[in-house]
Amino acid sequence: MAQEKPIGEKNFFTPFNVITGIILLIGLILTILRFTKGLGTVTNLDNNNPWGIWIGFDLLCGVALAAGGYVTSSACYIFGLKRYHSAVRPAILTAFLGYALVVLALHYDVGRPQSLTFPFILSRGTSSLLFEVGLCVFLYLTVLFIEWTPAAFEWLGFKKLRNWVVRLTLLLTILGVILSTLHQSSLGALFMIVPSKLHPLWYSGYIHVYFFISSMFAGMSMVIFEGTLTHRYLHDKMDETHLAEADGVVLGFGKAASFIMMGYVGIKIIGISVDNNWHYLTTGWGAWFLLELVGFVLFPAILYSVGSREKNTKLIRIAAIWTVLGIVLNRLNISVVAFNYHLPSAERYFPSFMEIGTTIFIVTVGVVVYKFIATRMPILYEHPEYKEEHH
Amino acid sequence: MEFFTLHDFMTFTKGVTYLIMGGILIFMPLYWLYLTDRDD
């Protein structure tokens, strides 16, 4: 790894620091506004549209794109694909931060964030899907935190604690897969309560299956995308093992994502067929639906397949970005664009600039914390004391 | 296609869906072979 410059020579006012500094400052002002003046001051939400981009983007996209954690750890520890071991820690960190930011965003979105624990303590709504989602996210965030702690303990030098947590790896991985299966699908199932509000092309009795299956390739694509970014900007923090295994991760995950995406296209077509929604495909909404399904699922699936056959990692990395955008489009279509589609445009929801600003702020917090952790803790390299110890 | 009874609707949609499922069952293994035929 490259030697770091002495502190005195470091220029604090780099473009990254300046831009993130401005975003964080604006975000803090928006946060104060949100928590002192209320939701109405900073959002365009109303009784017709109680869920905006804080749910559609921060929560739905955040959870889907954080699926890389359970996908990578189960590939490595449950399916025994140890060649993906170097991708586990970055994926776990991304997932942990992703879920932590989902919970942070939820504090902005709910009317009384101080009562967020009430459903678990005071009044357990065990027949509600939202209760299940909340409980799973709460438990899975805890699991991800514990899965991430070995990196922090290695950094802090807590050898005993680290070894103790590492022994729990398989148990935590299994818990992670169970909890992810439950809440990834339940997030989609939440929309089963609104058959008259969500456009028939997106509404389906199988929507929970769509959410779960799409979370798999969302997670894989996010691992590839995040690997591309770390290769570019944190290259000096990666050790030889991580650099050597990176292409294998890209090729393997690209191939798996392609196969799952083809299956996803198949079950989406089955969904149209079961509800006999073919006639909607020739409408404007149909064109938008086809753009999402063909342009942002089928097309990147083909890109992935060509890339993995030709061993073209660049093509796979492009497909990964495309797929991530596709997932964002899908979740926003379901929660915002095709939601309340029958309302006149004057009554439709469009996020205020302050909502968009808060979302950018939350994503930026994630990037800053990721950078802070990845530049200090053994995420992209193996700690010298634990080298060759592939747990 | 117009439907007058639920039975008509189910017969038509299930019939089409089973055909699509058959197509997918044939396509997916072939697609897997396409994805993996150049593996070492």
List pLDDT tens digits, range A131-184.
999 999 999 999 999 999 999 999 999 989 999 999 999 999 999 999 999 999
Task: Output Rg (C-alpha) for chain A, integer angstroms.
Answer: 21
Which pLDDT belongs to residue A126?
A: 83
Report in angstroms the alpha-carbon separations of A319 from A263, A308, B2: 17, 11, 41
* 3-state secondary structure labels for all residues of chain A: CCCCCCHHHCCCCCHHHHHHHHHHHHHHHHHHHHHHHCHHHHCCCCCCCCCCHHHHHHHHHHHHHCCHHHHHHHHHHHCCCHHHHHHHHHHHHHHHHHHHHHHHHHHHHCCCHHHCCHHHHCCCCCCCHHHHHHHHHHHHHHHHHHHHHHHHHHHHCCHHHHHHHHCCHHHHHHHHHHHHHHHHHHHHHHHHHCCCCECCCCCCCCHHHHHHHHHHHHHHHHHHHHHHHHHHHCHHHCCHHHHHHHHHHHHHHHHHHHHHHHHHHHHHHHHHHHCCCHHHHHCHHHHHHHHHHHHHHHHHHHHHHHHHHHCCHHHHHHHHHHHHHHHHHHHHHHHHHCECCCCCHHHCCCCCHHHHHHHHHHHHHHHHHHHHHHCCCCCCCCCHHHCCCCC
Q: What is the DSSP letter of B39?
A: -
Report in angstroms the alpha-carbon separations of B15 from A207, A209, B20: 21, 22, 9
Chain segment B1-40, per-residue pLDDT in tens: 778 899 999 999 999 999 999 999 999 999 999 999 888 6
> Does the pLDDT at position A391 exceed 60?
no
Structure confidence at residue A1 as a pLDDT band (50, 70, 90): very low
Mean pLDDT calculated for residue range A6-35: 87
Structure confidence at residue A310 as a pLDDT band (50, 70, 90): very high
Name the residue of chain A whose CA is nearest to B30's CA: A259
Report the predicted TM-score, pTM, of the whole model to 2 decimal places.
0.92
* Cβ–Cβ gap B13/A274 under 8 Å: yes
Which pLDDT belongs to residue A388?
A: 63
> Does the pLDDT at position A200 exceed 70?
yes
Mean pLDDT calculated for residue range A95-111: 93
Mean pLDDT calculated for residue range A5-12: 62
- Which residue is it, tokens 């942002």? A296
Name the residue of chain A whose CA is nearest to B16's CA: A273
A8-17, A143-152, A247-256: least confident range: A8-17
> Does the pLDDT at position A382 exceed 90?
no
d(CA A272, CA A141): 35
A184 token code pair: 């990834």
Which pLDDT belongs to residue A390?
A: 55
> Does the pLDDT at position A205 exceed 90?
yes
* Cβ–Cβ gap A273/B28 under 8 Å: no
Which pLDDT belongs to residue A374?
A: 92
∠ CA A45-A127-A57, nearest 5°, is 30
Structure confidence at residue A236 as a pLDDT band (50, 70, 90): confident
A40-44, A122-126, A201-205, A355-359: least confident range: A122-126
Chain A residue numbers with beta carbons less than 8 Å from the beta carbon of B18 are none
Name the residue of chain A whose CA is nearest to B14's CA: A274
Q: What is the DSSP letter of B3?
A: -
Which pLDDT belongs to residue A72?
A: 94
Interface test mutation site (partner B, options A204, A268, A270, max chain B beta carbons within 10 A): A270
Mean pLDDT calculated for residue range A319-347: 94
**Which residues contact residue A103 at a Cβ distance below 8 angstroms, ignoring those fewer than 6 apart?**
A137, A138, A141
Chain segment A83-98, per-residue pLDDT in tens: 898 899 999 999 999 9
Measure B4 CA to nearest chain A CA, in Å: 14
A13-22, A162-171, A379-388: least confident range: A379-388
* ipTM surpasses 0.95: no
Chain A interface residues facing chain B, Cβ-Cβ under 8 Å? 255, 258-259, 262-263, 266, 269-270, 273-276, 305, 308-309
Strand partners, A339: A198
d(CA A388, CA A245): 14
d(CA A11, CA A308): 41
Give percent of chain A above pLDDT 90.
Answer: 76
Which pLDDT belongs to residue A231?
A: 87
> Does the pLDDT at position A291 exceed 60?
yes
Contact B34/A at CB under 8 A: yes
SS3 category, B22:
helix
> Does the pLDDT at position A217 exceed 90?
yes
Pairwise pLDDT comparison (A278 vs A386), residue with the higher score: A278
Which pLDDT belongs to residue A2?
A: 46
Mean pLDDT calculated for residue range A251-275: 96
- Which residue is it, tokens 């935590």? A172
Which pLDDT belongs to residue A360?
A: 96
Which pLDDT belongs to residue A7?
A: 53
∠ CA A228-A262-A78, nearest 5°, is 65
Report in angstroms the alpha-carbon separations of B34 from A258, A305, B37: 11, 8, 6
Mean pLDDT calculated for residue range A50-73: 93
Which pLDDT belongs to residue A11?
A: 78
